[in-house]
Amino acid sequence: MRSLQFGAYDNMLKNIVGSYMGYIQIHNTDYWEEKSIDNSFLVSEVEDILDIPQVSYVDTRIEGFALASIKNKSKPVAMLGLDPVSESNHLNLDKKIIEGAYLSEDQQGLLVGKELKEILKVSVGDSLVFLSQGYQASFASGIMPIVGVIDLKSPELNKRTVILNKTLAQNFFGLENMATTAVIGFKDDHWEKIEKLVKQKTKGRDLRVINWQQMVPELNQLIAVDKAGGTFVMLILYSIITFGLLGTIIMLTEERSFEYGVLISIGMAKKKLITVAYLETTIMAMAGVILGLIVAFPFALYFNINPINISGQMKEVVENFGFEALIPTSLDPKIAVQQATIVLILVLIVNIYPLLKIKNLEPVKAMKS
């Protein structure tokens, strides 16, 4: 159960954070509070971050806004300028094209969200007129053809997103050799450590390193609330397990009262008998935990390789929020270690009963009963 829950979190983060926002971004110090083109930075300021061994890529982007028009229809849109070749591996944008073609390295056209296409009543081959404010209050305007329609799996993004080449976006906004955002990719899952290394690397520059928990706090809160719900269910389950263990230990102890009485009568010290009884139950518990892990692991491995597919209306709901309609299991060893540790601690606690029973045992009464 815990493996499915944590697997769902990992998949959610991969869909929203890992594939678009990145776990770590770099901006101008003032950009996050005031998302203005003026709060940009030189691309050269972040190039040396690739020197950090754990960093696999640094993708710079232009994120701005403009008024898009065609004939008598207009709509404010979010313009995302990126390197289509570099980011295709991270965003899988080429797999989300539903009409037309994906952007090439020197493409002068753009991609529009599928719902924005319906709002503006445009099709592949049409051109949009853009008006905006460029760098340092310059006037930004241009006409760009639509080369493709993209489904970003999120209704909000599909209604207002336009994707174009980073070079074209730099020319449009007057941001030569500049960017508003740098997305950091890394080779392992320990983003907290890499965040510290990136902060050390950019220290003294007019840059701010920000992680996904700061960028999308609502997602972090959603996971925290769901984890709390899962923890509550686990408490109920472990309460049942504790009483089950206690009942088993009481039964075993009472059934062996005669045996304990005989052993004490023939001269076995109570301390030794307590140690033997304690070791017996502890070894049985360890064997049970190991057997449980052996039985559970193949199921966790199978559903990690072959995730559970969500179908029907639930699939549509999940995909509308930008998630894959899949629930994989997590193979994080911490989950198994945590559950095994909790069970062993519970066994050690309920083992107090036979210790007290043997300590207060009267051999004659025990053998008579």
Sign of CA pseudo-dihedral 15, 18, 19, 24: positive
Question: How many Å apart are CA 64 and CA 187, to the nearest integer?
Answer: 29
Residue 320: per-residue pLDDT: 63
What's the confidence (pLDDT) of residue 54?
86
- Write out pLDDT tens, residues 44-62: 999 899 888 888 888 999 9
CA 317, CA 9: separation in Å to the nearest integer? 17
178 pLDDT tier (thresholds 50, 70, 90): very high
The pLDDT value given to residue 369: 65
Closest CA to 339 of 279, 288, 289, 284: 289
Encode pLDDT of 113-167 as tens digits: 999 999 999 999 999 999 999 998 899 999 999 999 998 767 778 889 999 999 9
Measured CA to CA, the distance from residue 125 to residue 77 in angstroms comes to: 19
Helix (H) or strand (E) holding 120: helix 114-120
Q: Is the confidence at residue 321, as pLDDT, over 80? A: no
How far is residue 78's CA from residue 61's CA, in Å, rounded to a whole number? 13
Does 224 score more than 70 pLDDT? yes
Retrieve residue 332's tokens. 């994080």
Which has more confidence, 297 or 157? Answer: 297
CA 164/CA 101 separation, integer angstroms: 12
pLDDT band at 80 (very low <50, low <70, confident <90, very high): very high
Whole-prediction pTM value?
Answer: 0.72
Rounded CA-CA distance 197/280 in Å is 49
Torsion of CA 270, 271, 274, 276, to 10 degrees: -110
pLDDT bracket for residue 64 (50, 70, 90): very high
Asked whether the beta carbons of 182 and 25 are under 8 A apart, the reply is yes
Q: Domain residues of the chain, as ranges?
A: 2-215, 219-368
